[in-house]
Structure 1
Amino acid sequence: MHATFIGNHQFNAIKKQTDILLQALRTASDRNVLKAVRYSASLMIDELFPGLEDERKRQLSAMSEMDAAEQFQRYLDSLEPWREEFPAISNKQLQKLFPKAKKLNAPDVDAMDRRRMTYLGWTDIATGKMFLVYPVDGQLTGLEGRYTPVNKKGYCLICNGHEELALFTVKTRPANSPPDYYKAFGHYVCIDSDACNRRITDTAALEKFLHTIKRG
């Protein structure tokens, strides 16, 4: 079996480009405009996979030369075997990531399609908490924070989609600080983490948030 290499956010980025290109094919009358959109799609592949072998890169870049919706769908379907899975994690491992949560109401990860996950996120309405798990430097890292719905749409830190948001506030105690000193970091994120995972095309903002909290 061949090694997988397409992360969920990368697949979403590719799909977004196929949508942009298909829209251009349907609406653009200027050939130069269409040529520019095709070039942009090909450039995106290079940026997403800078170290990818040439053969794989050519296969992915073939999308920029397609002309019909059916071609794009077959192309996306052909990428499914190459999609990476979010790391497997048991309920016991989740509990270790969140030792302060006495009764962790975690989702059933085994029932999820881990190919469609950049991060694992869920909320516990009973406690008003939000939980987020993401691999940092090959190791799963967990964030636990206060979950406050804002009852309006805005831009999510993680996927940059204009969606229904909650304020996710995480408290942390910096190293060498007094026991009762804490810093709070808050950002607006999607209420629906599954939908957020379907939209995310770049992990930079999420990773910056995690590293900021880790540094305190």
Structure 2
Amino acid sequence: MSAPFIRNYHYNYIKKQTDQLLHAIRTNAELKILQSVRDSAEAKVTELFPDVSEAHKQMLTSFTALETADDFHKYLKALEPHLDAFPPITEKQIQKLFPKNKKLKTPDLSAIDHRYTTYLSWTDIATNKLFIVYHRHGQFVGVEGRFTPTNKKSYCFICNRYEELVLFSAISKKRPAKSSPDYYKAVGNYMCMHSHECNKNVTDPSALEKFLDSVLN
């Protein structure tokens, strides 16, 4: 078998296309409209993987010819062996990302399905802190900050889905030239209260990466 090449957010994006196509089929869309949905879905998925082999391309776009919910379910199951999982990380590696937190509480890593993970996130209620771990450019990065429940639903900046949110606010490590010793800048954004739901929805990590850049670089 070839090396896994479908990231979690790719998988979510593909699933989104299958859901839209199935909706068009179930609502008895006109043939021209239905064909347009099929063509659009194929083009979008193809664009997502510009460098894959022809065999992989045919596998990825085969859903556009499907008709039933069961067919779409089987198609998505068939993609699972090709999922490129979030790299394995140990508790010690996480602790090294947050060296100032001597009593850092880490998540139960054994309970996480890394195939369906774009980023790791967990909260420490005792310290009112939220932690994010992401893998980019071949290494792990970590960001911590305060979280404030909003008690409302709106759109998460990471997955852009309508979910229960918290306000996550982190101190940026960027410092302007000749800034005073007590200078600091907080960078905040609204994100899903439940990261496992966010990981099921995220289809593009660029918003998360931009946020991490604003804090870390």
* Partners of 1:179 and 1:47 in 2: CA distance: 47
* Partners of 1:186 and 1:201 in 2: CA distance: 21
> What corresponds to 1:151 in structure 2?
151
Q: CA offsets per residue over residues 45-94 of structure 1, 9 Å max, x none?
A: 11211211121011111111111111111101100100011111111110
> What corresponds to 1:179 in structure 2?
181
Secondary structure in structure 1 of the residue aligned to 2:67 = coil
Is there any run of 5+ residues in structure 1 with no aligned partner, and where? none
Q: Which amino acid aligns with 2:112?
A: M
Correspondence list, 1:1-216, <5 A: 1-175=1-175, 176=177, 177-215=179-217
Secondary structure in structure 2 of the residue aligned to 1:188 = strand
* Partners of 2:107 and 2:125 in 1: CA distance: 13
* Partners of 1:195 and 1:61 in 2: CA distance: 26
Q: CA offsets per residue over residues 129-156 of structure 1, 9 Å max, x none?
A: 0000011212111010001011100100
- TM-score of the pair, normalised by structure 2: 0.95
* Partners of 2:143 and 2:102 in 1: CA distance: 15
C-alpha displacement at 1:179, in angstroms? 3.0
* Partners of 1:85 and 1:110 in 2: CA distance: 14
Is there any run of 5+ residues in structure 2 with no aligned partner, and where? none
Q: CA offsets per residue over residues 5-41 of structure 1, 9 Å max, x none?
A: 0000110111111111111001133111101110111
C-alpha displacement at 1:121, in angstroms? 0.4
Secondary structure in structure 1 of the residue aligned to 2:105 = coil
Q: Which amino acid aligns with 2:214?
A: T
Secondary structure in structure 2 of the residue aligned to 1:167 = strand
C-alpha displacement at 1:110, in angstroms? 2.7
* Partners of 1:43 and 1:213 in 2: CA distance: 35
Task: Calculate the aligned-residue CA RMSD, in Å.
Answer: 1.2
Q: Which amino acid aligns with 2:18?
A: T
Instruction: Assess if the C-alpha contact under 8 Å between 1:169 and 1:185 holds in 2.
Output: yes
Secondary structure in structure 2 of the residue aligned to 1:104 = coil
* Partners of 1:14 and 1:24 in 2: CA distance: 16
C-alpha displacement at 1:97, in angstroms? 0.3
Q: Which stretch shows the higher mean deviation, 132-141 or 114-123? A: 132-141
Q: Which amino acid aligns with 2:190?
A: Y
* Partners of 2:49 and 2:83 in 1: CA distance: 13
Secondary structure in structure 1 of the residue aligned to 2:168 = strand
* Partners of 2:69 and 2:15 in 1: CA distance: 12
Secondary structure in structure 1 of the residue aligned to 2:106 = coil
Instruction: Assess if the C-alpha contact under 8 Å between 1:173 and 1:181 holds in 2.
Output: no
